[in-house]
Structure 1
Amino acid sequence: MSLQDFTTSESLTIGVELELQLISTHDHDLIPQAQDLLRETARHTGAWDIKPEITRSMIEIGTSIQREHGPLVAELRDMRDQLVRAARRLNIEIAGGGTHAFQHWSEQQIYPGERFHYISDLYGYLAKQFTVFGQHVHVGCPNGDDALWLLHALSRYVPHFIALSASSPFVQGHDTGFDSARLNSVFAFPLSGRAPFVRSWDEFGAYFDKMTATGVVQSMKDFYWDIRPKPEYGTIELRVCDTPLTVEKAAALACYLQAICRYLIEERPFEPVEDDYLVYTYNRFQACRFGLQGDIVNPQTKARGKLRDDIVRTLARVETHAVDLKSWEACQLLRESLGEGNDAQWLRRQRAQDAQLSEVVEAAARRWTQSPPAAR
């Protein structure tokens, strides 16, 4: 199987995908009602998309192609509102968050579908442990060479998105000590982590051909990289974010990525080199473990600093680009969140109030539902 041509896409367009939890109103555990919810939302209004995920207690929603923060957040709110109304008819709740606080992987059910059964057969129990919930952001690129350049340039900013979006401190009833424990489930897959350092689409095609010849890879879907090219869409896809607890945070993260991409493309502050990856795994671990309090090492200067400070500096660098993209408000939301803490800290604060984990999940579902409604 050969790699398909990279579809031409408008530069800096964005699309957001969110994996969401389906929760019982009775005990606030996950509930396997994805098929029911998909039937209930089959005639939804809007250009957005809803589809199943690997287990029956989760769904994925995806926006249409967007260019600006205002229309993006409006569409996400509309998606949220329609989903919540449909879920209420089924007596279930919807929530964000990178993990469910106390579900057990052994109780999850694989969604009936050829691709999902293939993954289950191949990866065994890891498939059910993959009942975790992430946000993916697509950024449009005009060609494959530009996409790969941008993919590698963004490697320095991956810890930003892990720390800002982190919302998975609890796993199977325990505080893991991580702000983003979700990514530990992703890292268990053999084709996860970073993409290989190739700089042209022709080089990437040769790599893809070698991988498919081994039988290890059948399609691009088999790569679980932190950032991967999506040639059929003409995008690169950032995959490290936990699903936030609100759609407003999801929109802000997408627009922050868009602003960074414009800054990188227009100012070319550095050229990505393979040595950028020397500290990549360390920086990523720090963001997962400690969130905004983690350390980050600059791969070029070798200087060590705090991740929160690096985000502050980056927000300042991209501010004019955010203004031009009409996403200043989104970046301001993230700037304010640096003082409030990420969603993992919010969840821990709920737990610190002597709440049962079921009450923490209930609070997360309420937070998802009660953020500002879509305009009518």
Structure 2
Amino acid sequence: MSTSDNLSPIIVQELSPSDPSVRTDSPTSSLGVFAQSKALTLGVELELQLVNTHDYDLTPYAEDMLLLMSKIDLPGSVVPEMTSGMIEISTDVCNTWNEALDQLSQIRDALVKCADKLNIAVVGGGTHPFQQWHQRRIYDKPRFHELSALYGYLTKQFTIFGQHVHVGCPDADSALYTLHCMSRYIPHFIALAASSPYVQGHDTAFDSARLNSVFAFPLSGRAPCILTWTEFEAYFDKMTRTGVVKSMKDFYWDIRPKPEYGTIEVRVFDTPLTVDRAAALAGYVQCLAAWFQAERPFTPTEDDYLVYSYNRFQACRFGIDAVYVDPPTGEHLPLREHMLATMAQLAPYAEKCGATQALAMLKSEVEDNRNDARWLRERQGQERLLGEVIRQAAQRFRGQKL
């Protein structure tokens, strides 16, 4: 989840309520209207680790990094996160995964230069392998202090790092349809992005241990199976009347609608070790959305969610080696097979979206049985020192081939 809940200022500007492109004809509730956005546009957010260059533990340099980054003219934005050893970067609205990659690369290069000035390093990955949560400092921002007061120790334990992908939807009902179709592919996203096998210095036996921390929060998990915006507004109003929810950012669902941007937001990815992989994953989301919106291949129902938690657990635990239960048929098959079959199905949409190379990159890694969790374990097997693994991960984030 993204506690700062920021996209770039450009996105906010383009979709502000005063913009003539924003729908004003839908019924209003406390949720507000669903803004219009260009279908299949992308926005990418990455939560990143700041580590020292002595033992490669997390270091509380977010404020210094933000000060240095504010002096550089870049696309997107850089903002603080819950604790001071973290920052979040985001792109502007992008049309293709290559455009997202270009923006992420520009921001990455600036981050690296600023980190060098401070004698620290920037790293991807869903968890820091050996940081101790009780040593973390809450970043000095009112919302973070409010969350800390509410959630106690969970707030510092939430020093974990995810990638969020926004994809544009032509209208509110299409957004909900796309969201529930996308839910069948949550195990794909988890397994492809998994990069958090280590927690508190130990191998968890999970490829993505990060998501276990997310599940501790109330209102996490799946969105309710509602397919019209009118019904969703009624649901939201009921939730706000309970006093539990004040805005959409209080829902920590795996995928959630973002009406102010005219998007849905996929939130289950671990932060990859490279911006190339982050952009490719965004391309995969875009291709799936293109298929759903063009062909309407499924009719989502509540029964789709009977195996949702099981599939999600399998992907977190075993990554690409997971078992996948097909929601409509109940068939059990290797997740790897389901991913490869889906990528073949998406080939024409990848071509239309300019994402053929992105899918080829991900397909190759599935065929080779590789993800970032495997890379981290292999490095630890060779080095026997997690600090050295993080040093190499920092080099990899810079774009060096290892």
Q: Smaller-chain TM-score range?
A: over 0.9
Instruction: Please state if 1:70 is matched with 2:98.
Output: yes
Deviation at 1:354, TM superposition (A): 3.5
Task: Give a deviation string over 1:250-295, Cα, whole Å, max 9, x none.
Answer: 0000001100111111122211111000000000000000000000
8 Å contact from structure 2 (residues 193, 269) kept in 1: yes
Instruction: Please state if 1:356 is matched with 2:396.
Output: no
Write the distance in 1 (CA, Å) between the matches of 2:288 and 2:350: 9
Q: 1:232-311 to 2 correspondence within 5 Å?
A: 232-311=260-339
Task: Give a deviation string over 1:174-224, Cα, whole Å, max 9, x none.
Answer: 000000000000000011000011111111111111111111111111110
Deviation at 1:371, TM superposition (A): 4.2
Task: Give a deviation string over 1:16-41, Cα, whole Å, max 9, x none.
Answer: 00000000011100001100000010
Task: Give a deviation string over 1:33-87, Cα, whole Å, max 9, x none.
Answer: 1000000100222221100001000000000101112222111111100110011
Cα RMSD of the aligned pairs, angstroms, is: 1.0
Write the distance in 2 (CA, Å) between the matches of 1:169 and 1:321: 33
Counterpart pick for 2:354 among 301, 304, 326: 326
Counterpart pick for 1:93 among 101, 121, 129: 121
Aligned length: 372
Instruction: Please state if 1:368 is matched with 2:394.
Output: no
Write the distance in 2 (CA, Å) between the matches of 1:250 and 1:26: 27
TM-score calculated relative to the size of structure 2: 0.91
8 Å contact from structure 1 (residues 246, 371) kept in 2: no
Task: Give a deviation string over 1:133-156, Cα, whole Å, max 9, x none.
Answer: 000000001221111111001110
Deviation at 1:320, TM superposition (A): 0.8
**2:157 equivalent in structure 1:** 129
Letter in 2 for 1:148: L
Write the distance in 2 (CA, Å) between the matches of 1:370 and 1:150: 33
Structure 1 gap segments, 5+ residues each: none
**2:365 equivalent in structure 1:** 337
Deviation at 1:340, TM superposition (A): 4.8
Structure 2 gap segments, 5+ residues each: 1-28
Give the percent of matched residue pairs that are identical in Structure 1 and Structure 2: 56
Write the distance in 1 (CA, Å) between the matches of 2:215 and 2:91: 26
Deviation at 1:336, TM superposition (A): 1.1
**2:8 equivalent in structure 1:** none
Write the distance in 2 (CA, Å) between the matches of 1:233 and 1:117: 26
Letter in 1 for 2:120: I
Counterpart pick for 2:110 among 66, 71, 82: 82
Counterpart pick for 1:180 among 208, 222, 227: 208
Write the distance in 1 (CA, Å) between the matches of 2:74 and 2:194: 29
TM-score calculated relative to the size of structure 1: 0.97
Runs of 4+ in 1 over 3 A off after TM superposition: none
Write the distance in 2 (CA, Å) between the matches of 1:38 and 1:221: 23
Write the distance in 1 (CA, Å) between the matches of 2:99 and 2:168: 17
Write the distance in 2 (CA, Å) between the matches of 1:173 and 1:371: 25
Write the distance in 2 (CA, Å) between the matches of 1:82 and 1:211: 42
**2:84 equivalent in structure 1:** 56
Letter in 1 for 2:51: I
8 Å contact from structure 2 (residues 48, 122) kept in 1: yes
Instruction: Please state if 1:161 is matched with 2:192.
Output: no
